[in-house]
Copies of this chain bind each other. A is one copy, B any other.
Amino acid sequence: MDETAPQKGTVTQRAIEQIKTMIAEGRLEPGQRLPTERDLAVQLGISRSSMREAIRALTVLGVLEARHGSGIYVTQLQAGDLLETFGVVADLSRGPRLVELLEVRRILESTATALAAARITADQLAEVEKHLTAMNATDDPDEILAHDLAFHREIAVAAGNDTMAAILEGLSSRTFRARVWRGYQEEGAFARTRREHAAIHRALAARDPEAARAAAAAHVGEVEEWLRAQLAG
């Protein structure tokens, strides 16, 4: 009888969907400021508590951004904003799924590196070189890891597909990488890693997409195979 009561799921879930829909339909533009929590709660006919849960949920998804004392804003909805949560997948995965993640990364990373070889600018190539030399100049594992990440990140950006770069960023999240790399590097894989990085850089400098694809695939594939062997043993 009551046409104003759809009543599906929790009110919070409903609020999440409604806000998402407002954004998808363009009624809320990126960067725009939303009404206050109190006003939004009244508009959707729910309590402030439930509205806050909905806002919090959309915040962790990278859709909204809450600024204490200022207001709630729609993010720019950039690939990086929305795919930030992708890292939790990598962080909470163990065993066989780690191999699957590396397989996905190998596929994307090799393609991204190939694209980068064709499109990379001189400035970007210089930046890649910087991280390559810095990586080879130190013994601190943390520093090596940081430059390793930056090395691949620069390449992914140079590929020109921000979405792909954001996904690769998640697949290489710091904690994920640290867990796998630690064991890998302990087996004296430093030299091999350096050779592979050098090969990737060489292919980029030569603007050779096929060589770049092969080098990147081999690079990730090495770790993949090592991890596979670890799990089997």
Interface residues of A (CB under 8 A from B): 12, 16, 20, 23-24, 49, 52-53, 56-57, 59-61, 63, 77, 79, 82-83, 85-86, 88-89, 91-93, 97, 100-101, 103-104, 107-108, 111, 161-164, 167, 175
Interfacial chain B residues near A60, Cβ < 8 Å: 16, 57, 60-61
In contact, B53 and A104 (Cβ under 8 angstroms): no
Question: This chain: how many copies in the complex?
Answer: 2
The 8 Å CB contact of A56, one of B56, B89, B97, B101, is B56
The chain B residue with its CB closest to the CB of A166 is B89
With a cutoff of 8 Å between Cβ atoms, the chain B residues found around residue A164 in the complex are 100, 103-104, 107
Q: A91's contact among B12, B20, B53, B93, by CB below 8 Å, is which?
A: B20
Contacts of A53 in B (CB 8 A): 52-53, 56
Q: Are B107 and A93 in contact (CB under 8 A)?
A: no
Which of A12, A88, A89, A93 is the most central at the interface, judged by chain B CB atoms within 10 Å of its CB? Answer: A89
Q: Report whether A91 and B52 are in contact in the complex, using a CB–CB cutoff of 8 Å.
A: no
Q: Which residues of B contact A23 (CB under 8 A)?
A: 92
Minimum distance in angstroms from A46 CB to a CB of chain B: 13
B61 touches A85 (CB 8 A): yes
B77/A82 in contact, CB under 8 A? no
Check B24–A91 contact: CB distance below 8 A. Answer: yes
Please indicate the chain B residues that have their CB under 8 angstroms from the CB of A163 in the complex: 89, 93, 97, 100-101, 103-104
| Residue of B20, B56, B97 touching A88 (CB-CB under 8 A) | B20
| CB closest chain-B residue, reference A108 | B107
Given A57-B57, A104-B167, A24 and B83 contact (CB-CB distance below 8 Å)? no
CB of A93 within 8 A of CB of B108, answer no
Q: How far is the CB of A110 from chain B (nearest CB, A)?
A: 9
**In the assembly, what is the distance between CA of A86 and CA of B108, in Å?**
16
The interface residues of chain B lying within 8 Å CB-to-CB of A85 are 61, 85
Task: Decide: B83 and A89 in contact? CB cutoff 8 A.
Answer: yes
Q: Is B108 a contact of A92 with CB atoms below 8 Å?
A: no
Closest to A111 in B: B107
Assess the B93–A77 pair: CB atoms within 8 A.
yes
